[in-house]
Amino acid sequence: MIVGADTMATVADTVGAERRDGGFFLWSAFLMALVLVAGFSLQLAAGRSSFGAPWYIHAHAVIFFGWVTIYVAQTVFATRGPLRLHRMLGWVAVGWVVAMVIAGLAIIALKIRAGQAPFFFLPQHFLVANSLIVLVFAGLTAAAVSMRRRTDWHRRLHMSAMVALLGPGFGRLLPMPLMMPWAYQIANLPGLAFIAAGMIADYRRDGRVHPAWWWGLGAFLGWMILSELIVYSPLGTAIYQAVTAGSPGAAVAPLDFAPPPPPMG
């Protein structure tokens, strides 16, 4: 009976701690959404993007920003309730992730085939690294879903997956041309501040860092290392040639930076 009482007390402490952590995850969700909205809004305001883009660009935007909305809503439902809506929307989210993977990989391939990688990114790096980060996002999200009965793991893995999507937001807020040749890497590093904040919050509360953060950090750093290894290898060249075959992108030097566009009049 004493062991049972101790176990119940431990479980109660864990549940209580997770409830107190709700504010951290809620505000982190809002801040991550703000980074993405601000980044894309800045591009629109500066005239570097417009609503005149092809339909598939709009479809991609709707799908990915739809996920941002789902993530924020899910965080609100999980921390403020009702949990019933959190569970119901969770199954919608699973299907949404599948659509994101398809749309994400498709838009990357279309941009590369059209020879439209941003001039401050190497085309081959843009193709390989972006494709891999979409898969990292999907993998972390799948892990979070599989751990849905373990709130501590579930919310941390989901947040780590969202970090994988922040690069395009930060990249639109930072002066990318001034950061060449490391613009791609620099655009993706600020998102790690969210994982670091989670680690610090756990350590201050429990005296240890939850292992889910290490999985998220490991997936992110592993993606960066693997991307570099593939990009500058025969495999990266073969992937680029296969994707661009028979398209304008085949004439683009995959490991050279394109010249910057002329200044806007």
Contact criterion met (CB below 8 Å) for 26 and 76: yes
**Which residues neighbour 34 within 8 Å (Cβ) at sequence distance 6 or greater?**
none
pLDDT at position 18 is: 55
Q: Is 100 within a domain?
A: yes
Omega of the bond prior to 82 within 30 degrees of 0, cis? yes
In a domain, 263, yes or no: no
Phi-psi region of 263 (alpha: psi -120 to 50; beta: other; left: phi over 0): beta
In-domain check, residue 39? yes
Domain count, the chain: 1
| Nearest CA among 169, 174, 163 for reference residue 136 | 163
At position 22, the amino acid (one-letter code) is G
Q: CA–CA separation, 189 vs 196, rounded Å?
A: 11
Whether 264 is in a domain gets the answer: no
Q: What is the pLDDT of residue 4?
A: 44
Q: Can you give the pLDDT at residue 19?
A: 56
CA–CA separation, 208 vs 75, rounded Å? 24
Q: Which two tokens stand for residue 187?
A: 């655009």
pLDDT of residue 20: 63
**According to the model, what pLDDT value does residue 52 have?**
73
- What does the DSSP assignment read for 95-134? HHHHHHHHHHHHHHHHHHHTT---TTS-HHHHHHHHHHHH
The C-alpha angle 133, 135, 139, rounded to 5 degrees, equals 115
In a domain, 85, yes or no: yes
pLDDT tens readout for residues 241-265: 999 999 999 999 999 999 887 765 5
Q: With 0.85 as the threshold, say if the pTM is over it.
A: yes
CA 79 – CA 82 distance, rounded (Å):
9
User: Residue for token digits 């439209």?
Assistant: 116
- Cα–Cα distance measured from residue 259 to residue 89, given in angstroms and rounded to the nearest whole number: 45
Nearest to 191 by CA among 223, 158, 159, 167: 167
139: in domain: yes
Q: Tell me the one-letter amino acid at 10.
A: T
- Residue of 246, 221, 39, 229 whose CA lies nearest to 125: 229
Which residues in the chain show pLDDT less than 50?
1-16
pLDDT of residue 183: 95
pLDDT tens digits, one per residue of 168-210: 999 999 999 999 999 999 999 999 999 999 999 999 999 999 9
Whether residue 255 is contained in a domain is answered as no
Is residue 265 one of the residues assigned to a domain?
no
Residue 110: give the domain boundaries. Answer: 17-46+54-245
Using alpha carbons, list the distances in angstroms from residue 196 to 10, 200, 201, 214: 26, 6, 9, 10
Residue 254, preceding peptide bond in cis (omega within 30° of 0) = no
